Amino acid sequence: MGSHAMFGQMVTLRRAGLAALVLIVLAPCAFAQFEIVGSWAARNNEDISRDSYPVDYVGLPLNDEGRTRALAYNESQLAMIERQCEGWPQFYFIQGPFGLRIWSDNDPIKGQAISYTIGAWEDRAPMTIWMDGRPEPSKYAEHTRGGYTIGRWEGNTLVARTTHMKAGFLRKNGPPSSDQAVMTSRFYRHGDIMTVLAVVEDPIYLAEPHIISKSFQLTAAPISPIGPPCVSTFEGRPPGESVPHFVPEKNPFVDELTKMFGLPRDVVLGRRETLYPEYRKTIKDTFVTQPACTRNCGAAPAR
């Protein structure tokens, strides 16, 4: 073998080695993430944001202050012209009934994602998840309805932390969230299914972190983000009128779910102990299964 050929083999070997090393070192970068961009249809096989019953805090770990605030809420507030376009905090992207449209803004040279955006709904601001390593804003920075979200990859999981949200609601029927609430969302993808696990911490209104999870399915049919802007209109409450509310102990809907489904009041009012299996023992002898369902029992089967 001539020296020229040997030199060629060495070059080839060196290139192969370099390629292998590139694969070894960059593997975590290339394989530790998933494609989140696209349209994700909601699979509403489990709870969606309860807005059917005025007092339904079932499954929430409210503290006493949160419960008191919630019971003071009157949904007629939404008729106030100055509140019609408040929208819901970012928890709603998981709890709401709609699908997600997610897109990215990328570095024009290297193509890496600078941010992901979960498109808005008419009553929820978009969520931009900043992936460029920027720090969280000062705690004194402006709080907005959409909050401020920074993200990072943990293996094949996208972890997003949302802070700086304005005070709002955990659900649409009044359980409150404070401007100190923080939501940590984890996005897991398995094939065409994406599950989001969100943990909401709120030192003001929650007795323990509130956990929400929901699955979405990738769809070829594009989901269009809609709204804002929201346009206010007169709905019967002149500007400057008092804020509709219930005074303590006077919420007329407090026993509605108990009458309809037999749920104990502690459950309806979102006490933390009701979230755990052992709570069942305390109601086993008193709970009465309600008569057969006659309305809103489920969608009529198509076939």
Partner 1 sequence: MEVGFCEWAVDSLLGRLSFLVLAIASLVPLPASAQGRGGGPPPSAQASAPIDLTGYWVAVVNEDWRYRMVTPPKGDYRGVPITKEALQVVNAWDPAADEKAGEQCKSYGAGAVMRLPARLHVTWQDDNTMKLEVDAGTQTRLFRFTPAAAASGPPTWQGDSTAQWERAGGRGGPPAGGSLTVVTKNMRPGYLRKNGVPYSADATVTEYFDVSASPGGDMFVVTTVVDDPRYLLQPFIVSSHFKKEADGSKWDPTPCSARW
Applying CB under 8 A, among 23, 141, 230, 243 the residue interacting with partner 1 is: 23
- Say if CB 120 and CB 92 are below 8 A apart: no
* Virtual torsion, Cα 76, 79, 81, 85, nearest 10 deg: 100
Least Å distance between CB 201 and partner 1?
A: 5
Applying CB under 8 A, among 156, 178, 180, 258 the residue interacting with partner 1 is: 156
Q: Which helix (H) or strand (E) holds 195?
A: strand 193-201
Instruction: Print the SS3 string covering 137-194.
Output: CCCCCCCECCCEEEEEEECCEEEEEEECECCEECCCCCCEECCCCEEEEEEEEECCEE
Applying CB under 8 A, among 67, 166, 214, 237 the residue interacting with partner 1 is: 214
Task: Indicate the DSSP class of residue 256.
Answer: H
Q: Tell me the β-bridge partners of 149.
A: 129, 162
User: Is residue 134 a contact residue for partner 1 (CB under 8 A)?
Assistant: no
Least Å distance between CB 263 and partner 1?
A: 6
In one-letter notation, the amino acid at residue 190 is: H
**Nearer CB in complex with partner 1: 249/278:** 278
Residue 65 CB coordination number (10 Å): 14
Q: Give the separation between CA 289 and CA 262, rounded to whole angstroms.
A: 7
Q: Give the separation between CA 174 and CA 67, rounded to whole angstroms.
A: 9
Least Å distance between CB 3 and partner 1?
A: 20
User: Is residue 27 a contact residue for partner 1 (CB under 8 A)?
Assistant: yes
Q: Give the separation between CA 44 and CA 47, rounded to whole angstroms.
A: 7
Q: Give the separation between CA 75 and CA 180, rounded to whole angstroms.
A: 23
User: Is residue 35 a contact residue for partner 1 (CB under 8 A)?
Assistant: no
Applying CB under 8 A, among 8, 9, 10, 43 the residue interacting with partner 1 is: 43
The interface with partner 1 within residues 53-72 (CB under 8 A) comprises 58-61
Applying CB under 8 A, among 76, 178, 195, 258 the residue interacting with partner 1 is: 195
The interface with partner 1 within residues 220-259 (CB under 8 A) comprises none
Count of residues interacting with partner 1 (CB under 8 A): 81
Task: Indicate the DSSP class of residue 231.
Answer: -
The interface with partner 1 within residues 81-110 (CB under 8 A) comprises 110
Least Å distance between CB 103 and partner 1?
A: 18
Least Å distance between CB 291 and partner 1?
A: 6
Q: Give the separation between CA 210 and CA 215, rounded to whole angstroms.
A: 17
User: Is residue 136 a contact residue for partner 1 (CB under 8 A)?
Assistant: no
> How many residues are given for the chain?
303
The span of 2-10, 201-209, 218-226, 246-254 binding partner 1 (CB under 8 A) equals: 201-209
Q: Tell me the β-bridge partners of 104.
A: 116
The span of 3-11, 27-35, 115-123, 241-249 binding partner 1 (CB under 8 A) equals: 27-35
The span of 141-149, 171-179, 239-247, 286-294 binding partner 1 (CB under 8 A) equals: 286-294
User: Is residue 111 a contact residue for partner 1 (CB under 8 A)?
Assistant: no
Least Å distance between CB 115 and partner 1?
A: 11
- Say if CB 265 and CB 255 are below 8 A apart: yes
Applying CB under 8 A, among 8, 28, 137, 203 the residue interacting with partner 1 is: 28
